[in-house]
Structure 1
Amino acid sequence: MQDHIVVLTGAGMSAESGLSTFRDNGGLWEQYSVYDVATPEAFERNRELVLRFYNERRRQLEHAQPNRGHQLLAQLEKDYRVTVITQNVDDLHERGGSSNVLHLHGELTKARSLDHPELIYDIGYADINPGDTCDRGSQLRPHVVWFGEEVPMLDAAAELVRTADHLLIVGTSLQVYPAASLAHEVDMTVPITVIDPDAPGSLVRARVIRKGAGEGLAEWMEKTPRGGAI
């Protein structure tokens, strides 16, 4: 049976494709404060601004391309069972070739009903505007987890992490909770590798590669035997 590699990815993975991150801009994203564009209160206060912000992100994503890191993770599927758990809301893992991706914080290319959250729609890179409604007449909103909201996929992600034969953490400094708590769900016998230029030393038993996603994954794969136990 193939070993199961569970990969937890963060903003650093998308940054190498040119997508801006809050972490790199001191709490700003394209000059917007997180509190103005990424909270339920912001949506109540200024729906037009929030929708415009995510429309801009969607247009930016449409022109972004998967980078070397995305492609290397997809290549791992030739030799291992691979599950990607991403904190990112873009679709670059899927476009890069990964076939098993869980989005912790939602997906930018989907919309959902404000009043009926079970109604979720694939919208690709199209805009969402004030007055765009679901089949039951409720305003559509981005299908993303805003700051202050629960992370509905967290339990499912934790279950996946517990099945890992190796936990690979890429492009995240493990500063954002509750997602960062997933690193503590693995059995003590399971090896952990962290690939990030700003990787902390808090996971004392982890192997740390302080490089960007693409360069760090290439180094890790070069030293990892193909097809056998990791």
Structure 2
Amino acid sequence: MIPIGDDVPERHYPFVTYTLIGLNVFFFFVELLQGPRLEAFLYRWGTVPAWIMNWQERPEVLLTLFTSMFLHGGFAHLIGNMIYLNVYGKSLEGTIGSGRFLVFYLLSGLAGGIAHVLMNPTSTVPAIGASGAISGVLGAYLVLFPRATVFLVVPLLFFFPIVALPAVFVLTWWFALQIVGGLTSAAFTQVGGGVAYWAHIGGFVAGFLLIGLFYSRKQRQPFRYYGVPDRRYWAYREG
């Protein structure tokens, strides 16, 4: 299922969300320009768990916990992450504000990276992608907008129907899939790349827990949901 939108109205222009999307796209094309130097580039800027675990030898590797958030392993990886960031990031940024959203995004990505390192402490494969940070956005979205409606495209052979589902169902199902993937991957010895499920899990849990710290007093009760026949809308109330 591919999210394409929700019913949470935009309260202001999502400058940070669009800037993050632009930066991810820009650095992906920087990767494409590396040619035969790409592997060295990814080892330089991606997160290598074994190096992080021994960071005292090279403290500069800690920076890769942030730089790795802006690198991707292919067009599908990039596009998938940016779709999720666009749909869920705009609503979150509109609620907590652009500055807070940026800090929240980076902290979630850091938590996801640390979770991946702790679950794969001897891995020498560089981890890249914005998935940990975006997973944090999903965790926060679940807290703030559990009753929102998310619109998704469901690819079925040659048909692409659009369905509308409650956010609480969509995000709980997504998180359950990450748990299953994480537990399954932990049962095997990984010798190559793959999906960093524990980065997703760590980012999501961090976002779920941290979002309460990013409210101002006016935003303690930011939205009230009103359901009327054949129509749904959100209303903002300062509390």
TM-score (structure 2 length as normaliser): 0.26
Q: Which has the higher helix share?
A: 2
TM-score (structure 1 length as normaliser): 0.26
Q: Which has the higher strand share?
A: 1
